[in-house]
């Protein structure tokens, strides 16, 4: 069944997500989730206010300084990736607050990103040097792996889902660098 998702995010000066608002509609179901961080950086808390089908729910938890919000958007993934040095052979692990369907609440996790290659690939801008980054959640190996091809500006040009993927699930078709 087709769905529509709208979201907006706020970040601090280090581009760490401090708020995320998600509106998701699938058929007759509507979900509205408002996420926000508060408190000093070394003791931040993360709160979610959820509304769905006339019901409301709240979720609260820690937002550790090294953690990142992970949400299924190449834009937010880019914000997370630019906090790490990525060159072939680099590997980073970090605590994550994973936001996703069906309720857009938070599931804490531990994610790993590995830069496994650098090569010139065809993009919407013509041939460009891109880095291959594999993103996994070791706690949920059945969820598969995301493979991202990104440029030096941390723009994701291709996104592949699953270990045996034969084609990208998303590919950048237009980019304006103003």
Query: Per-residue confidence of the chain (178 residues) as pLDDT tens digits?
Result: 678 889 999 988 877 899 999 999 988 889 999 999 998 777 789 999 999 989 999 999 999 888 889 887 878 888 888 888 899 999 999 999 989 888 888 888 889 999 999 999 999 999 999 999 998 887 766 666 889 999 998 899 999 988 778 899 889 999 888 7
pLDDT given for residue 131 in this prediction: 96
Provide CB contacts within 8 A for 174, sequence distance 6+: 124
Domain boundaries along the sequence of the chain: 3-171
CB 33 within 8 A of CB 105: yes
Taking the C-alpha atoms of residue 154 and residue 166, their distance in angstroms, rounded to an integer, is 23
Q: Is the peptide bond before 102 cis (omega within 30 degrees of 0)?
A: yes
123 pairs with which residues across the strands? 126
pLDDT given for residue 60 in this prediction: 94
- Residue 132, classed as helix, strand or coil, is strand
Helix (H) or strand (E) holding 74: helix 74-81
């Amino acid at each position: 069944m087709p769905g529509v998702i709208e979201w907006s995010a706020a970040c601090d000066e280090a581009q760490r997500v401090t708020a995320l608002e998600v509106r998701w509609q699938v058929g007759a179901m509507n979900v509205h989730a408002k996420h926000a961080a508060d408190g000093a950086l070394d003791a931040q808390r993360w709160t979610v206010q959820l509304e769905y089908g006339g019901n409301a729910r709240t979720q609260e938890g820690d937002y550790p300084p090294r953690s990142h919000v992970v949400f299924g958007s190449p834009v937010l993934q880019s914000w997370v990736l630019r906090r790490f040095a990525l060159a072939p052979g680099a590997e980073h692990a970090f605590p994550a607050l994973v936001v996703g369907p069906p309720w857009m609440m938070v599931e804490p996790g531990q994610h790993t990103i590995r830069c496994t290659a650098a090569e010139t690939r065809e993009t919407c801008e013509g041939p460009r040097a891109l880095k291959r980054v594999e993103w996994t959640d070791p706690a949920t190996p059945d969820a598969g792996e995301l493979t991202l091809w990104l440029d030096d500006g941390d723009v994701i040009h291709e996104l592949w889902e699953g270990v045996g993927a034969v084609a990208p699930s998303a590919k950048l078709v237009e980019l304006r660098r103003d």
